[in-house]
Amino acid sequence: MGGWFFIKGVTKAGSDGRAEILLAAVERDQILAEMRLLLKAVDGIIRGLGEPNPDPKQMEATARAVGMNMAADVEPTIMAKLPMPFKQMGMSIHKDMDALADAIARHETPQQILQRLSSMTARCTACHDMYRFAADQKRAEVQHEQ
């Protein structure tokens, strides 16, 4: 039973065709904050590439900050609630951020870096097309009663 739960997560069918991942409000906020940090990193790298004199050290640090070290901080209880495809896409983005940092350090061209970013953002949009977060009403009611 535990294995099935780890793969399926805590989801239900959403009214818009996406799977709703059921999380407590604080858990949802934590995941959404992580997503915002990833988006800000992508934005920072794109902005860096647009500069007349890009700062590769800054772009590398920006990518590295949201790599696998960031993923290591996710609470195991939250991870258990996420469906396997969501976890796989999320982990692949963190791994790719580390690979992007390495590519920047190797002085890949701006076009190569943009191709890497395009591959990552394609997975982001696919994930957002598949999933949304919803309040876990049972947990919210229990927390409210306490």
Domain-embedded: residue 10: no
Domain-embedded: residue 69: yes
Domain-embedded: residue 15: no
Quick one: three-class SS letters along the chain? CHHHHHHHCCEEECCCCCEEEEECHHHHHHHHHHHHHHHHHHHHHHHHHHCCCCCHHHHHHHHHHCCHHHHCCCCHHHHHHCCHHHHHHHHHHHHHHHHHHHHHHCCCCHHHHHHHHHHHHHHHHHHHHHEEEEECHHHHHHHHHC
pLDDT value at residue 142? 38
Band of the pLDDT at 139, cuts 50, 70, 90?
A: very low
Q: What is the pLDDT of residues 40-63, one digit of tens each?
A: 999 999 999 999 999 999 999 999
Domain-embedded: residue 52: yes
pLDDT value at residue 104? 97
Q: What is the pLDDT of residues 84-137, one digit of tens each?
A: 899 899 999 999 999 999 999 999 999 999 999 999 999 999 999 999 998 775
- Extract the tokens encoding 104: 């920047």
Strand partners, 23: 135
Q: How far is CA 138 from CA 75, 77, 104, in A?
A: 20, 16, 46
pLDDT value at residue 70? 84
Domain-embedded: residue 130: yes
Per the model's pLDDT, the better-predicted residue between 57 and 9 turns out to be: 57
Residue 71: which CATH number?
Answer: 1.20.120
Please state, in angstroms and rounded to a whole number, the distance separating the CA atoms of residues 68 and 141. 34
pLDDT value at residue 4? 43
pLDDT value at residue 144? 35
pLDDT value at residue 103? 97
Domain-embedded: residue 27: no
Section 53-76 average pLDDT: 89
Domain-embedded: residue 68: yes
pLDDT value at residue 20? 93
pLDDT value at residue 7? 62
By residue range, what is the domain housing residue 93?
38-145
Q: Is the pLDDT of residue 24 over 80?
A: yes
Bridge pairing between strands 131-135 and 19-23: parallel
What is the count of structural domains for the chain?
Answer: 1
Q: Is the pLDDT of residue 2 over 70?
A: no
Domain-embedded: residue 6: no
